[in-house]
Amino acid sequence: MTYTIVALGGDGIGPEVLDEAVKVLRAVEEATPGLSLDLRAYPASAALHSRTGEALPAETFEAARSAHAILLGAMGLPDVRMPDGTEVQGRGIIRLRKGLDLYAGVRPIKRYPGVLVFIDRGPVDLVIVRENSEGLFASFDGGAEITDHVVGDTLLMSRRGTERITRAAFTLARGRSGRPLDGRARVTCVDKANIFRSLAFFRRVFTEVAGTEFPGVEHDYALIDALSLAVLQDPGRYDVLVTENMFGDILSDLATALCGGLGMAPSGDVGDAHAMFQPSHGSAPTLAGLGVANPVATILSARMMLDWLGTRHADPAALEGVALIDRAVGEALDRGVLTADLGGTATTAQMGDAVAEAVARIAGGGAVIRGMG
């Protein structure tokens, strides 16, 4: 079938890394009979807001709602802010998350061969599942202010929100190969249940869902402060970690020390009917146009997109594309094609070329690589 994909370049290095992901997707499409991707570019960015007053035009939002999936480069510029001092990017990304009910933030942390990591503790293959719609982010564009003297944001958790993010984490664990330590599937509830009522509630609901709906999958618990050290010390113990929005935001960035940094960290914002995929890193405007940004996180986000589409539509062609990208990224990195953040000299385009060429080679050669039309 043909999948309509809304492509949002965004700001800074966003368009550059998106171009490389599209390059790889086109190589996969050429190498995989039955896979057809209709990639359509739409405007959405902080720069657009500075010109027009809108970061996410209504036309772009409606296109995203109608598409099979969304692929985003990166959005946001530090100097483009709202009157309250917050960055404009939330008016794009969080609007999409809320408007399309993308409640599960899925952030894989996987170490590939050939990548020098900040913290080396052996094999790393875990996933952080971040509740996207509640927690501290429930106060986005809200909160309370008392005459410029007291400002507050409130952390909120609902039963429905906690149940569905727990189900998402356990369903993900059942489809994986388990933690590197012993291959056993395990979901870890990460919270601060010893202090906060909202997070004690999160743990209680997690436990109910685990016991009644997923008795065959192991589960355990960790406090966020202790876990932040433990996951760096012994990452092989962890498989899937599920947590509140802000905790997941911080923890997923921290954990990239295990896989080579944010340039190696993809993510997906997933709901029941819609999904958006983007690198975990920001727009890095100081690097824009220099050709040094690492596109692997965006390429791996495209891989996640194909995985979601293939699973959702029972499409073996899309799932074949997943395997092609995973292997091609691994081969390119293992051959020493590394961008500056990984200690190498490859440009953004050279990294994309290396992965796309590996896709064609793995698939048997002869694939024609073309750009987004």
Strands (E), the chain: 2-10, 36-41, 69-74, 104-110, 125-131, 144-146, 150-152, 186-191, 218-223, 240-243, 266-270, 275-279
Q: Is the pLDDT of residue 365 over 60?
A: no
**Higher-pLDDT residue of 84, 6:** 6
> Whose CA is closest to 115, among 17, 258, 293?
258
Reported confidence tier of residue 10, pLDDT bands at 50, 70, 90: very high
Final residue before a domain boundary, out of 258, 283, 318: 258
Cα 235 to Cα 258: distance, rounded to the nearest angstrom? 8
Q: What is the CATH number of the domain that holds 223?
A: 3.40.718.10
Final residue before a domain boundary, out of 239, 258, 277: 258
Whole-prediction pTM value?
Answer: 0.94
Residue 371 is predicted with a pLDDT of: 40
| Pair 136, 251 in one domain | yes
Provide the domain count of the chain: 2
In three-state secondary structure terms, 170 is: helix
| Pair 358, 254 in one domain | no
Mean pLDDT confidence for 230-252? 97
pLDDT tens profile 283-337: 999 999 999 999 999 999 999 999 999 999 999 999 999 999 999 999 999 999 9
Residue 368 is predicted with a pLDDT of: 40
| Pair 331, 280 in one domain | yes
Its domain, for residue 292, covers 1-103+267-373
| Pair 137, 226 in one domain | yes
Given a contact cutoff of 8 angstroms between Cβ atoms, the answer to whether 231 and 109 are in contact is no
Any domain includes 113: no
| Pair 30, 142 in one domain | no
pLDDT tens profile 242-263: 999 999 999 999 999 999 999 9
Residue 373 is predicted with a pLDDT of: 33
Question: Would strands 240-243 and 218-223 be described as parallel, antiparallel, or unpaired?
Answer: unpaired
Residue 143 is predicted with a pLDDT of: 65
| Pair 89, 15 in one domain | yes
**Higher-pLDDT residue of 366, 125:** 125
| Pair 125, 251 in one domain | yes
Reported confidence tier of residue 141, pLDDT bands at 50, 70, 90: low
Cα 127 to Cα 239: distance, rounded to the nearest angstrom? 6
The one-character DSSP state at 112 is P
Q: Is the pLDDT of residue 372 over 60?
A: no
| Pair 252, 126 in one domain | yes
Mean pLDDT confidence for 187-214? 97
